[in-house]
A and B are shown apart, each in its own frame.
Chain A
Amino acid sequence: MNKHKNNKSLISLLRSSIEILFHKPLIFYPYVISIFIQLFVLEILYFAPRYPLSLFFAPLIRQFWGEMFLHFPFNLLLLPVLFQYVKTPIYIISSSYLIGIAIIIIAAINEDQTISFKSAAKKVLPRYIHLIFITSISYSLFYGFSQLYGLVIKRAFIIHSETGIFYLIKRIVLDGTPFFSLLISVFVSTLLVFMMPLLLLEKKNLFAAFWTNLKKVIKSFWFVLGIVLLPTLLYLPVLLLSSNLSSFGNGVAPEIRMSLTIANILIIVIIDAIVYTAITLYYLFDQEN
């Protein structure tokens, strides 16, 4: 595949990634497992206020959030919050490993080798700690940038203007928080996007992989940003819906929140599947050239 730094090539790369996910379902299999793990955890959290899981969870929920959240429909308000807490450890511990397996499978298919899920899993295992480390770094970076944005929000809050340019800035900063969060996530993902292929396929150590990653990202920053950003746009409808569901008072059924959390899980995994497939293909073609 020729590497042209223009939109047409970016679109064709993404299109190829989606096609390969359909034609080689083995690549998508680790992502199916990732979806299952997250949905299973969500299901456990859904039943947390109910017997028998309430024997364990009820004292914790009562202590940190209050008695109200053990009852319908407030437990459904709390559910996405609880899931947010466990999402990060799940991603670091299991999703990173599963993405690693998908990358190994893509590389094997690219070289016309036969591979099974089991053998790919075995190949990733020695580099598992590296994957955990790099995913943790990624989350730490995201957290750090979010805290910086938090300072911007604090500053925006003290703007008293109700018209004019300052008011516009205030509104953009405050109302655009979920969208800026998404952009921060895209930016952080772009910065470390080649780490996994480098760790797994070239078996570099962390520092060497980071240095090579940085060189590759800088070399074709906008192209790589496009690979991460375009599939991430799939998340926008979920983000818009979540931002508008302020309370149940506007006639929204409380189960909608749970449906949104499920949609969230599915869309994020699909985005990861497309992004990492595209990045791995780009990396492999880049190596060949």
Chain B
Amino acid sequence: MIKRSILIFTSILTVVYGILTFLDRGGEYQVEQMIWKANEKFHEIARDPAAVPDQSFDQLSRQYQKIIEKFPKSPLAKKAYLAIGRLYLVQKDFPKTRLVMEKVLQRYPDDQDFSAECLTVIGKSYELAGDPVNAVKVYTGIMTQYPVTDIGLSTPLYIANYYKSINQNNKFMSAYNSAISHYKTLSAKYPNSSTDLKSLRLLANCYIEMKMWNEAVETFGQILISYPSKADLTPQRANLILKSINTISTIQLKNYDIPIRIYQNFIDQHPQHGLNKVLHEMIKSFNLLRIKGVEVDTKNAG
């Protein structure tokens, strides 16, 4: 009786499994599974590509190709194409990387975010081939063609940091200045939008890199005051902005009036905001420091 019951129950479970799998055939879940497994192999290969035989690269490339052929209409097919491009990048086959990415760009011309990602891979191939001129040309192309995508927005800063990493000091200074100008233009062009918020954050980063402390702290203040909603000013983001304002004002500028002014401004403009309690405490602390004439000396501290 037990054996018969176990058989019946196992059959029911198997049949239900089969039916539900059949009903979901062609669904995204199967693609997600295949992509994930292929990506795991990719990460293994990327850890030490020199130690991996060419066969493994080919096998993995075929695995991604299979996903594209089986599920051409799936949004994850694009991820598979990108993965193939990155695989050739890891294999240091830069001409093949560019060839694949250019074909893919022609296939999906309307997807701005995806196109920006493909161009990033092409740019990276020039970087790794030691060709900064063409790399920057590609990145500049991303900035102009896809300026409001996440990648397009971060590219000016990326170019500046790239010049810094290859010790082209004259170029990196001018790249930071171009980035600053670019972000200011975008902020003015897309006021009160997510593009404006992202541009201001990146602008603040540029000012910090350029040690333009006044401008940096004012930009953080502008972000705080202009984007007080819960969606934009998450607890983590608020914490980061306040920390940045406080650190720059205290250590770099040695000026307590700036954070007091910014926080008071915020409280005046958003009297019911949940952050005001914290800001009141900070204003009190800064006033106390100002009265006592305390300066933070980072050289002799600790």
Contacts and interface: CB of A to CB of B under 8 A. Distances in A.
Nearest to B44: A251
A254 B35 CA distance: 13
A25 B4 CA distance: 12
A71 B32 contact: yes
Contacts of A52: 20, 23-24
A51 B5 CA distance: 29
Interface in A1-52: 25-26, 28-29, 32-33, 35-36, 39-40, 43, 47, 49-52
Contacts of B32: 71-73
Interface string B1-43: 1100110010011001100100110011100110010000000
B16 A40 contact: yes
A72 B27 contact: no
Contacts of B20: 43, 47, 50, 52-53
Given A40-B16, A43-B16, A72 B2 contact: no
Interface in A251-289: 254
A26 B29 contact: no
Contact of B29 (A35, A43, A49): A49
A26 to B, nearest CB: 7
A25 B24 CA distance: 38
A36 B24 CA distance: 23
B112 to A, nearest CB: 22
Contacts of A254: 36
B17 A72 contact: no
A51 B27 contact: yes
Given A72-B32, A72-B36, A29 B13 contact: no
A71 B30 CA distance: 10
A40 B12 contact: yes
A165 B32 CA distance: 48
A237 B13 CA distance: 26
Given A26-B1, A50-B20, A32 B9 contact: yes
B19 to A, nearest CB: 10
A10 B122 CA distance: 72
A108 B113 CA distance: 71
A29 B1 contact: yes
B5 A29 contact: yes
Contacts of B17: 43
Nearest to A249: B43
Interface of B: 1-2, 5-6, 9, 12-13, 16-17, 20, 23-24, 27-29, 32-33, 36
Given A33-B5, A50-B20, 12 more contacts: A28-B2, A29-B5, A32-B5, A32-B9, A39-B13, A47-B20, A50-B24, A50-B27, A50-B29, A52-B23, A71-B28, A71-B32
The 5 closest A-B pairs by CB, nearest first: A72-B32, A36-B9, A25-B2, A50-B24, A47-B20
27 contacts: A25-B1, A25-B2, A26-B2, A28-B2, A29-B1, A32-B5, A32-B6, A33-B9, A36-B12, A36-B13, A39-B13, A40-B13, A43-B13, A43-B20, A49-B29, A50-B20, A50-B29, A51-B24, A52-B24, A53-B20, A72-B29, A72-B32, A72-B33, A72-B36, A73-B32, A73-B36, A254-B36
